[in-house]
C-alpha cells in the first residue's frame, strides 16, 4: 500500500490536550487521524453533525456559544459511531 504524508498546523495547547486524551485511549495522534479519515470514508462525509443552530438546552461548550446543532437522535448515532470506531480501530491493530 502506498503511503501519503499529511501535515497540519494546530495550536500547541490543543495538540498537547488531545495527545493526552489519545494517550489515555492507548493511541497516538496519527492513529486518531487515521481513524477519523476511515470514518469519513465510511460515512462519505464528516462523521458528526456540523450545523450552526441548536434548539435544545445548551449543555456543551460549543452549544453554549451557539456554534453547533446536533440532530435529535445524535446520542444514538454517537453511540453507534463509537462502536464502529472501536471495531475499526481493533480491526487495524496488530
58 or 10, which is more confident: 10
The SS3 of residue 21 is helix
Q: Tell me, what's the pLDDT at 48?
A: 81
* 22-81 confidence digits (pLDDT tens): 999 899 999 999 999 999 998 888 888 777 665 555 555 555 555 555 566 767 777 777
Provide the residue ranges of all domains of the chain, joining segments of one domain with +: 12-91
**What is the spatial distance between Cα 59 and Cα 44, in angstroms, rounded to a whole number?**
28
Amino acid at each position: 500500500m502506498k503511503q501519503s504524508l499529511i501535515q497540519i498546523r494546530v495550536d500547541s495547547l490543543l495538540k498537547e490536550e488531545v495527545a493526552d486524551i489519545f494517550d489515555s485511549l492507548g493511541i497516538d495522534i496519527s492513529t486518531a487521524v487515521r481513524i477519523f479519515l476511515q470514518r469519513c470514508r465510511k460515512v462519505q462525509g464528516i462523521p458528526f453533525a456540523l450545523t450552526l443552530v441548536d434548539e435544545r438546552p445548551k449543555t456543551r461548550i460549543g452549544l453554549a456559544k451557539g456554534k453547533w446543532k446536533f440532530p435529535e437522535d445524535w446520542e444514538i448515532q454517537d453511540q453507534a459511531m463509537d462502536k464502529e470506531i472501536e471495531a475499526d480501530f481493533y480491526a487495524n491493530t496488530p
